Amino acid sequence: MTEPKKSRLPHYLFGASPSLWSGLRRRYGPVDSPFRSRATQIQLGIWSLAPDRCWESWRFRRAIEQTELHPAPVFIIGYWQSGHSLMHYLMANDPQFATTSLLHCALPSCWATIEPLARWLLRRRGGKTRVVDSLPMSADGPQGDELAMANLTELSIYHGYSFPRAYDALFRRAVLFEDVSPEELHKWKQCYRGLLQKVAWHTGRSRLLSRNAAHTGRVRQLLELFPDAKFIHLHRNPYRVFAAQEPKWRSLCGLWALQTPNIEQLVADTIRLYPVLMKRFIADRALIPAGQLSEVRYEELLANPISALSRVYAELDLPGFEGLEGYLAATGGTQLGQLAGHDVSLMSEQQELVRREWGFAFEVLGYSLDPTQTTEPAAKPVEE
């Protein structure tokens, strides 16, 4: 396999530290020869941005550490390709929330120092829409904070797209925290809280709105950080989740891979790991206090986004829904993009595989096992 066409944007590890870069290769294997130019780009970024990272840490660390966070951040979670990005895009229009943007996530260690240059780069080389759906993409647009964490720590599932041969091990360490020492977990918590503080400091808003699929397996740890945290769990018909996996893997490995991906193996990994993650969430869901969890179907969000948002705000006792509703109605912001997999026809053997391996999820999430009942409402692209 030859190296795919390069992303117009630098690799997400472009602004990482030398120790993170060497640690990832030591733990998950070397870079394959077709991707050496991508690795060279990463190393160039790491060393060229080192002075900016050091300056930013020295200049702003105290102010960031003193930034207070709202005790009840809102975490949007759910298995990948289940609609959490769409909910995030809508709720990010509510001015009470601070949320990580593409700017924050692309260069989390030095965005405040090189902000004009970073904005110019993102505007010049970034696409108008995301690769996995038709949601708009811009420097200030909402972005899941796992991308930022991938630039800061080894415990990020994004590294599975860069080192796909180690995806299973990465998933278990980064999402489920299996075989992670107490010291490593403590550092991850400190790093994540520091990221949220930096976003709050930069935006002037203390209440964070986070979108992170990997957090679906981290409910316990998030509650340890924020006992009053509120959760929005997005879920989707398991047949459609499966249908979205191959397009997702091809898109994201095309952007980030440093090892030649075996797409069939990665889909097989997904078949095995989806129930592991969902069973973890189902068990940990009981830890979330009453009034701190709202569950939403992706299909419901597409069919009537205002109604879905109204219910979420009511269930979580969030203020400000009327203002958000008025803004979305005025701007046409409820025209949602459609996720990958909505138009994929599964073969009978694939349907049987999903029923056999993920059957429990149909019952728990309230979906029919009948594969003919998987139609999703049509959605127009989001207006920019």
Q: Is 19:46 a contact under the CB 8 Å cutoff?
A: no
Could you list the pLDDT tens digit for every one of the 384 residues in the chain?
444 444 467 899 998 999 999 999 999 999 999 999 999 999 999 999 999 999 999 999 999 999 999 999 999 999 999 989 889 999 999 999 999 998 888 899 998 898 887 787 767 665 566 655 566 666 678 999 999 999 999 999 999 999 999 999 999 999 999 999 999 999 999 999 999 999 999 999 999 999 999 999 999 999 999 999 999 999 999 999 999 888 889 888 988 999 999 999 999 999 999 999 999 999 999 999 999 999 999 999 988 999 999 999 999 999 999 999 998 888 766 666 666 657 668 889 999 999 999 999 999 999 999 888 777 666 554 444
Residue 331's pLDDT is 76
The DSSP bridge partners found for residue 76 are 211, 232
Q: Which of 114, 104, 122 is nearest to 202 (CA)?
A: 104
d(CA 284, CA 53): 37
d(CA 15, CA 52): 10
Q: What is the pLDDT of residues 310-319, one digit of tens each?
A: 999 999 999 9
Spell out the domains of the chain, with CATH numbers in brackets. 18-373 (3.40.50.300)
Residue 323's pLDDT is 94
Residue 382's pLDDT is 44
Q: What is the pLDDT of residues 254-296, one digit of tens each?
A: 889 999 999 999 999 999 999 999 999 999 999 999 999 999 9
The pTM of the full predicted model, rounded to 2 decimals, is: 0.92
